Amino acid sequence: MLGSVASTEARVAVTAGILLATLAVGWLLLPRAVRTGERVTTRWLERFLDGRGESSLETMREALPTSFALRLLVGLFQLALFALAAVAILALWGQFAVVVAVLPVAENALTIGARAFLSAMLLGTAYVASDVLDEYVEDLSADSDRITAHQEQLLSRIMQVGVLVIAGVTVLGIWGVNLGGLLVGAGFLGIVLGMAARQTLGSLIAGFVLMFARPFEIGDWVEIGDEEGFVTEITIMNTHMGNFDGEYVVVPNDLVTNQAITNRSREGRLRIHMEVGIGYDDDPDEASEIAEEVLTEIETIANNPKPYVIPSGFGDSAILLDLRFWIEPPTPQARWRSKATAVGLIQDRFADAGISIPYPQRTVSYPPGTPETGETVERAARRNDGHPSDRPT
């Protein structure tokens, strides 16, 4: 249609009209349209996200301010509009050779610009989506008692990594990267890294096993192998503990899964065993009743189930009584305090009742032909060695 304009006056008039229309649209309508679209998009995102992803959006605003992004978008639209106007004017004046020569360059520039724009949009969307998924998992964990803090952390990380991997693969596909060769290279690299970092991968896999097995949670009082303390943090690679000496202990997850784990907090209560010995001349039943009364009077000891004491065996110098009682909730302080209180009170009550707590004793007998009973072993030895003061007169 533009090529059909023959007269110079008409071409000048059409050229002026194209330039005026381009300036009017590019300088007046485009900025307003972009700002209106930005406001509409922002309101829609706020309703869709419902308060989630605010931190990632704020980070993106700091990295790329809204005003700069709007100016950049308006500039791109203006550039495209002016390019279209230039093509129209060249076609109007019959300069088709110039249009044909410039068209491949413009096409390549448009393709690269579109790829860059789509890549930036995909990566930005993935970044916001990872933050939204993290907050969604937090809300889900807050509403459910079956999701622990460890599972929440691992689930969030898995979902975030999955979103970012999908976005990265899509961006590579947009830029025409051969994903088949990349996957083959990644496979060989994975084999090499797997052989070089077997322990690290073992800890990683053990972290996922701990997430689903849930032998303990953050804050539990546990014993893992030779280490005992409270679990402070559970990561994909390690389990962090604080022991009773104030030390910070880090145990790799592969060692955690390969050792016996004792969780003293899981059931909400813990049974304590103590032994006390009484003399063979004392009454075990009376001593057991007194010990049970003492245990029921201690505040840190639970009354349901009630504590009980039973004679458990014959010791070298005493009859052994086994004291069994529960503490609730189980804490190291409650265990130590209940034991110390029980020891002090039982000793006092046994003393009042005339029940002895004997110390170890040893009886020495002499075979026939040894020195007289009243003679000490040391004096007999000295006499046998010929000491003058120990010879009989």
Which of 39-43, 86-90, 91-95, 318-322 is most confident?
318-322
Query: What is the model's pLDDT at position 52?
Result: 59
Q: How far apart are CA 104 and CA 367, in angstroms?
A: 119
In this structure, are residues 376 and 387 in contact, taking their beta carbons and an 8 Å threshold?
no
* Confidence at residue 391, expressed as pLDDT on a 0 to 100 scale: 47
Give the pLDDT band (50/70/90) at residue 160: confident
Q: Is the pLDDT score of 369 beyond 50?
A: yes
Task: Tell me the two tokens of residue 247.
Answer: 């030390």
The confidence score (pLDDT) of residue 321 equals 94
Q: How far is CA 54 from CA 61, 136, 287, in A?
A: 10, 12, 68
393 pLDDT band (50/70/90 cuts)?
A: very low
For residue 161, what are the CA distances in angstroms to 129, 154, 164, 237? Answer: 11, 10, 5, 16
* 98: number of Cβ within 10 Å: 14
Distance CA 317, CA 319 (A): 7
Quick check: 341 pLDDT over 90? yes
pLDDT, the chain, mean: 77
- Taking a C-beta distance cutoff of 8 angstroms, is the pair 81, 26 a contact? yes
Token pair for 32: 């307003």
Only one residue has tokens 């194209």, namely 18
Residue 248 φ then ψ, to 5°: -100, 120
At residue 180, the pLDDT reads: 66
369 or 164, higher pLDDT: 164
Q: What is the pLDDT of residue 186?
A: 64
Residue among 123, 112, 135, 158 nearest 53 (CA): 135
pLDDT in tens, 285-324: 999 999 999 999 998 898 888 999 999 999 888 999 999 9
Per-residue confidence at 140, pLDDT binned at 50, 70, 90? confident
Q: In this structure, what token pair is assigned to residue 357?
A: 């707590």
- In whole angstroms, give the CA distance from residue 27 to residue 347: 96
Q: What share of the chain has pLDDT > 90, as a percent?
A: 18
Q: How many residues does the chain have?
A: 393
Q: At CA 62, angle to CA 57 and CA 67, rounded to 5?
A: 95
